[in-house]
Structure 1
Amino acid sequence: MEIMTDQRFRKTAKVFRAFVFIGMIVAALFFLVYFSIIGYAKILGPPPLAVPQSTIYMADDGTVIGESHTGEKRYWVPLKDISPDLVKATISIEDRNFYEHRGFDYKRIAGALLADLKAMAKVQGASTITQQYARNLYLSHDKTWKRKLTEAFYTLRLEMNYSKNEILEGYLNTIYYGSGAYGVQTASQYYFGKDARELTLGEASMLAGIPKGPSYYSPLTNEERANSRQQTILTAMETKGYIDQEEAKAAAAEKLTLVGKHPTESLGKAPYFQDAVQNELKYSLNLDERTIKLGGLKVYTTLDMKQQELAEEMVTEHITEDSEIQTGFISMDPKSGHVKAMVGGRDYEESPFNRAIQAVRQPGSTIKPLLYYAALEHGFTPTTTMKSELTTFRLEDGKTEYTPHNFNNKYANEEITMAQALAVSDNVFAVKTHLFLGQDVLVDTAKRFGLSSKMAQVPSLALGTSGVSVIEMASAYSMFANGGKYVEPVLIERVESHDGEVIYEHEEKGEQILEPELASVMNHMMTGMFDPKLNGYASVTGSTMTDEISRPYAGKSGSTNTDSWMIGYTPQLVSAVWTGYDKGKPIEKSNEKAFSKNVWVNFMEKAHEGVPATNFKTAKGTVGVFINPENGKIATANCPVKRLTYFKDGTEPQEYCTEHLDEGEQLQKPKDETEKKPDKKPWYKKIFGL
C-alpha cells in the first residue's frame, strides 16, 4: 500500500508540475502578447480622429448660406461649448465609470455576461464610451469577433494617446442622433433649434437617450418611449450624484419645444457664389476636394445677403420670362475688393455655368474709360477735341482699311471734346485716340487694370472687341472709384478648420496703379453719361436713367451685336451687369437691349437706400473749371450752358469761350468759377510764410 501511495504522490506531483509549467508558459505567452500589443500600439502612435464633417459657408454677417456634406450633417464643437447637463447625462447612461476605467469596464462586462447567460440572449451591452467612439471612427457595426478584437485594439490606442476629455468630446461629436444628425451640435439644432451649449437639463436628458435607438427613442416619433427613456437617464444622473431629486422632477416636468428641422435645410443661397468660393478654396488655397467638402471648415465669405437677394430680385424683375437672354452680375466694394453679390445666370439648376466669372464676352464701349485714362497719361484732357465724322482708316500695311460707325450712323461732323465723346459714346473719337496713342498702349493699360484676357492689337479694340469677364471689369472700374489702387476681387475673408484654427485669412493690399489726379478726372468724366449738359449730336447714353437716379454715379454702358453691358459705381459700391445670349446670337429686340441698364440702375438705387449721397472726392493736384461743353473752352457769364470739369492741375484750358458774344460786346469773365483744392499747409507754415 505504501508503494502505491508513493507512486500516486509522485504521479500527482508530476501533473501539478506540468500544470504549473504550462501555466507559466501560458502566463508568459499572455504577457508577451499583452506587452507586444502595448508596444505595437505605442509604435503606431495616436490614431487619427478625423471624421467627415460638414463644411459651412457664411455671409459677411455670419449667417450660414450653405454647407457641403455626404448626407451626414455634423458640426464639431469643443467640449466647453456643450451643455454640462448633456455631458453628465451621457456619462450617466452610457458609461458611468468613464473617468475611472482605462477603456474597458471589466465589472460591467462581467455583469453583462451574467445577464446574458441568465436570459440566454443578448440583453445587456457593456461597451464603454471609448469603445463606442472607436467603433464610430474606424469600424462598421458588424457583430463579428474580428470587429470586436479590432475595436478593442483601437480602444487601447485611444486611451493610451488621448485624454478622457478629448475622447468624450470626440464621442459626443460623432454619435448618431437620428434624422441625419451626427454629433450633439447638429442634434441640438435639429431637435430643439439651439446650440448644444444652450440645452436645459430637460432637453439634455431627452437628447442623451436617443442614441440607444434613434428611431425608437426619438421624441418626434414616439413621445411616450422618449419620456420613459428620459426618466431612466434622470434617475441615473441622480444616482451618480449629478443632480438631486427636485432637479430631476423639474426636468421631467419641463415642457420641451421640438423643432424637427435642420437649420440649413432651406439653404443653398447664392449658388453661383458658393461654387466660386469652392473653386477659390481648391485652386487658390490648394485644399483638396475631400477637405473642402467634408473637412468641417468654416468659410467666412464677403457675401452681403441683402445685396445678393436684391441682385437676384432685379434680374428676375427686369429680364422678362419670355426672353432667353442670360446675365452675369457682380457687385463689389471698391476699397476692399470684397464681392458683395454675384449672379451667374438666371437659373442655377438649369445652368450652373457662371457667366459672371467664366464667360468671356466683348465689353463694347465699357472699355473706353480705360482707353481715355491712357490718353490722359499721354497729355489728353477732358477738353481735347477731335472731329466726329465718318472716317475710314488706312492701316500701316497700306492695304487694310477700317471704318468704325457710331450708333445709328450719327456723327457731329465737327469737333467734340473727349468728355462729350465718352458721354455720348462716340466710336470715331475712340478709334482716333487709340490709333494716335499706338495700338499697344490700350493692351498694356488693360493689363494694368487687371484684365487677363488676351487683347488683339487692332483698331477695333477701342470699341471692345476682345473678350473679358464681368468680374474683371468690375475690378477694373473699382480702381477709378478707389483713387487708383488695384484690388483683387475677394470672395473669402477667413477659413477655419474644424477645431477653430485659422488656416487662411485675407490680407488687404492695395497697390497704387493709377495716378490719383487722373483717376479723379476720369471719375468726373464718367458722370457725364448721366448729365444732359453733355448732350450733343446724340443724347448721353445714360439719358434713360437720369430720372431714376438719386445720387452721383459714374459709369459707362456698352454694347455689341451680341452683348449689352452697364458698369457703374459710387464711392461705396461698384456693380457690373452683362446680358446676352449664351450662343452669341444678336440682340435685336429693343427691350432686350435695355435689360442691363434696367437691372443696374434699380439695383444701385435700392442698394444705396439709407446711405447718404456723396460726391466723388477729388485728389490733391486737381482743379475744377467751369467749361462750355460744346467747345471745351472756359465758360463765361454769356455761355448758356457750363459744366464743372476737373483737370490735373496745370492742364486746365486757358482760353475763354467767345461764341456767345454779340457783335461789339465785351467778354465778361466769371468772378470765380475755378475750384481749386484748399491749401493744406500746416498753420505755422502759413503764419511764417514757409
Structure 2
Amino acid sequence: METETRAQRKKWRTIRLLTFTSILAIGALGALIFSFFIYIKILGPPPLAIPQSTLYYANDGSVIGESNSGEKRYWVSLDEISPSAINAAIAIEDRTFYNHSGFDFKRIVGAVLANIKSMNKVQGASTITQQYARNLFLTMDKTWKRKIYEAIYTIRLEANYNKNEILEGYLNTINFGHGAYGIEAASQFYFGKNASDLTVAESAMLMGIPKGPGIYSPLVNYEKAKNRQLLILKSMQETKTITAQSASEAAEEKLNFTGIHPHHKADSAPYFYDVVKKELLTTVGLDERVLALGGLKVFTTLDPRQQEIAENAMNVTFSEESDIQVGFAAMDPKTGFVTALIGGRDYDDSPFNRATQAVRQPGSTFKPLLYYAALERGFTPSTLIRSEPTTFTFGGTTKYTPHNFNNQYANGEVTMAQALAVSDNVYAVKTHLFLGEGVLVDTVKKFGITSKMTPVPSLALGTSGVKVVELLNAYSMLANGGKKVEPIFIQKVVDYRGKVIYEVEEKEEQVLKPELAFIMSQMMTGMFDPKLNGYATVTGASIANQMSRVYAGKSGSTQSDSWMAGFTPGLAAVVWTGYDQGKEITLTADKLYAKNMWIRFMEQSIQGQPEKLHTFKPPAGVTAVPVDPSNGKLATNLCPVFRITYFEKGTEPEDICTEHLLTGPN
C-alpha cells in the first residue's frame, strides 16, 4: 500500500511539473507573440519606398511636364478608382480580403495540396496585403530572407493600415507592363482615360495583366489577355459584384487600346520647365530624389495660351537665316505670376536660358527707372532740360560724350515727357548727374533688380547688365501702381497624398508712390504717340499702327542688344534680342525683331479679354491737364498740338503757352 501511494505521488508530481512547464511555455509563447506585435507596432507602417511620377501643371490644369525613374505611376485615392476595377482585383486576387488579417491560411493549405498533387506550382495563395508588401519590399529574389521580410511587412501593413488603405496602396503599386505602374498609369496607357472612368470590361482586362505583364498584356498577346479577362468576369459574377448579363455584355464589348503614355517632357515651354525644377530645389527646398520620384503635383503659373502665342510670335518674327537669339518673359503685374517664357530660339540647340540667366545691357529701357527717381525728387513730365551735344568732364581729365540716335538734338530745351518718347540720351545723362549717380543705383533695387549696378554717368543709358526677368519685374511694378512683386513660377506643390507642402504667399507691399508710378506709366505711352514727335520721331512709331489699345513701353538698344519692354495693367512683357557672344547687330531688320515680337504677343494675348483689365486708371492723387508737348506749358486752343498729361496734384504747370498767340493753330 505504501509503495502504491509513493508511486501515485510521483505520478502526480510529474503531472504537476508537466502542467507547470506547459503553462510556462504557453505564457512564454504568449509573451513572445505579444512582444512581437508590440515590436510591430513600434516599427510602425513600412516605408512606402515607391517611385512615383511628379507631374507639372499649367494654370489651366493641363500637364506640361513629368519626371520619373522609368516607372510611370500616378497615385490616386481609392474613391478615384472605378468600383469595377476594385471588384475585379478582389475577385481574382483575394476574395476574403476584408475578412483575413493578412494571410489566408485556408488558401495556403489548399494551394500546398494542389501543388503537391500536380508536382508543380499551379496555384498561389498570396493575399492582396502580401502582394502589396512584396511591391513595397522592391525585390523579387526567391530567398527565405525575402519571404520572412515580406511576412513582417504584411503584418506591419495590417497592424497600421485599414483595409481600404491597403487596397489603395496595392492598386497603386502593381506592375501593368510597358512602364505603367499602378491603376491610374495603366488606365491612361491602355485606354487613354482616368481610372475612375474604367468600364467593367476594361477593368477586367486590366486586372488580368499583373499576373504576368509580359504574357497577359493585350498589346503583347491579345488571345491570352482575353482569356484572362473572361476568367475575371466569371470570378466577378461568382462574387456577385456583377450579374451574368453584365458579364456577358462586358465579354462582348470591343475595347480600344491607345498604348501611349499621356505625359511626356513638355515640347512647349522647356525653358520654363527648367526654371520650375530649379525653383523646386532652391525656393521650395526639395531634394532631387523627392522631385524626381515623389509623386508630387506641381502647379505652375504658365499660361499655355500665352506661351503658344509667344512661340508663334517668335517664329513669325525671326528670319530662319538669322543667328540672332531671343529672351522673352511675360508676367501678370498684379501677382508676379510668370505666364510665358522663352529662353532661346531652340532648346535642343541651346538650353541656356536667356530670359533668366543672361545678363545684358538694357540700354534705354532703363530710362523709366531713372525718370521715376526724378519724379520722386521734384521733376514733372514738363521739366525742361537742354538737349544738345554735350561733353561731360570728370576729375579734370575724364571726358564722357553721350550721343543721341542719328545725332539728332533739339539744340534747345525739351520736356521730360518728350525726351522719354524720343529717347534723348543727353537729357537722361544730365538728369542722372543732377540727381547724383548713387540715386539710380538705389532706385533700381526698389524695382527688384539685383544685378550689380556701376554708378557711372552712362548708367542712365543702361550700361550695367540686367536679366530679362529683372526688367520685367521692374516694369510690372509700374504697371500695378508700385506694389512689390517678384517673378513667381510655382503656385503650389502637393504631395502624392494630396497634402499641400508649399504654396506661394500673397503679400501686398507698397514700394513706389502710386501717383508717380501712374504718371511714369503715362509718360511711357508717349513712345507710341506722334504728338510727341519733334526734333526726332517717337521710338514706337514703327509698331504704333499695330496697336488696338493704349500701351506703356520703352525700347532700348546698344551695339549688341535690342530690347522692347512694356505693359498694360493686366499684362507685362519683355523681349531681348541679340547674339550670344555680343556681336554687333548691324542689320536694320534685326534691330526691329524685339519690337515686332512684343507687339504681336501683346495684341494676341489681350484679344478677347475684358477691356477693364488692361485700362489705365488714375489714382486720386493725380490730375490731367492739356499740355503743349513742345514746351510743357498748359495748352490753349491756339496750340497746334496738345497732349493730355498727368501730374501729381499741385505740380501741374501754371504757365499758359503763349508761343502761338501770333501764328495761331496751323
Number of the residue aligned with 1:688: none
Whole-Å separation in 1 of the counterparts to 2:70 and 2:246: 37
Whole-Å separation in 1 of the counterparts to 2:637 and 2:450: 48
Number of the residue aligned with 2:53: 54
Q: Which moved more, 1:445-454 or 1:246-255?
A: 246-255
Number of the residue aligned with 1:83: 82
Whole-Å separation in 1 of the counterparts to 2:41 and 2:518: 68
Which of 564, 575, 578 is 1:577 aligned to? 575
Superposition pairs for residues 363-512 of structure 1, below 5 Å?
363-395=362-394, 397-512=395-510
Whole-Å separation in 2 of the counterparts to 1:527 and 1:262: 48
Q: Give the SS at the match of 1:290.
A: helix
1:181-240 CA distance string (max 9 Å, x none): 110111111111111111111111111111111121122232222221111111111222
Q: CA deviation at 1:387?
A: 1.0
1:479-537 CA distance string (max 9 Å, x none): 11111111122211111111111122222222111111111211111011001111111
Superposition pairs for residues 189-200 of structure 1, below 5 Å?
189-200=188-199
Number of the residue aligned with 1:682: none
- Note if 1:136 corresponds to 2:124: no
Q: How many residues align?
A: 653
Superposition pairs for residues 139-538 of structure 1, below 5 Å?
139-265=138-264, 267-395=266-394, 397-538=395-536
Q: CA deviation at 1:653?
A: 1.1
What letter matches 2:182 in structure 1? G
Q: Which moved more, 1:522-531 or 1:608-617?
A: 608-617
What letter matches 1:616 in structure 2? F
TM-score, structure 1 as length reference:
0.91
CA contact (8 A) 2:111 2:125 kept: yes
Number of the residue aligned with 2:5: none
Indicate the RMSD between aligned Cα atoms, in angstroms: 2.4
Number of the residue aligned with 2:537: 539
Unaligned regions of 5+ residues in structure 1, if any? 1-15, 669-690
1:321-353 CA distance string (max 9 Å, x none): 222211111111111111110111111122212
Whole-Å separation in 1 of the counterparts to 2:569 and 2:341: 19
Number of the residue aligned with 2:625: 625
1:562-586 CA distance string (max 9 Å, x none): 2111001112110000111112222
CA contact (8 A) 1:66 1:269 kept: no
Number of the residue aligned with 1:657: 657
Whole-Å separation in 2 of the counterparts to 1:34 and 1:230: 42
Whole-Å separation in 1 of the counterparts to 2:544 and 2:271: 31
Q: CA deviation at 1:438?
A: 0.6
Distance 1:22 1:584, change over 3 A: farther
Q: CA deviation at 1:31?
A: 6.0
Number of the residue aligned with 2:603: 605
Q: Give the SS at the match of 1:130.
A: helix
Distance 1:205 1:363, change over 3 A: same
Superposition pairs for residues 548-567 of structure 1, below 5 Å?
548-567=546-565
Q: CA deviation at 1:40?
A: 3.1
Whole-Å separation in 2 of the counterparts to 1:358 and 1:267: 20
Whole-Å separation in 2 of the counterparts to 1:460 and 1:293: 46
Whole-Å separation in 2 of the counterparts to 1:639 and 1:106: 102
What letter matches 2:212 in structure 1? G
What letter matches 1:599 in structure 2? M
Q: Give the SS at the match of 1:480.
A: helix
Q: Give the SS at the match of 1:74.
A: coil
Q: CA deviation at 1:403?
A: 1.0
Distance 1:256 1:83, change over 3 A: same
Q: Give the SS at the match of 1:93.
A: helix
Whole-Å separation in 1 of the counterparts to 2:242 and 2:521: 70
Q: Give the SS at the match of 2:478.
A: helix
Q: CA deviation at 1:20?
A: 11
What letter matches 2:606 in structure 1? H
Q: CA deviation at 1:30?
A: 6.5
Number of the residue aligned with 2:39: 40
Whole-Å separation in 1 of the counterparts to 2:18 and 2:210: 48
Identical pairs, percent: 61
Q: Give the SS at the match of 2:85.
A: helix
Whole-Å separation in 2 of the counterparts to 1:123 and 1:20: 44
Q: Give the SS at the match of 2:584.
A: coil
CA contact (8 A) 2:271 2:342 kept: yes
CA contact (8 A) 1:67 1:268 kept: no
CA contact (8 A) 1:299 1:494 kept: yes
What letter matches 2:554 in structure 1? K
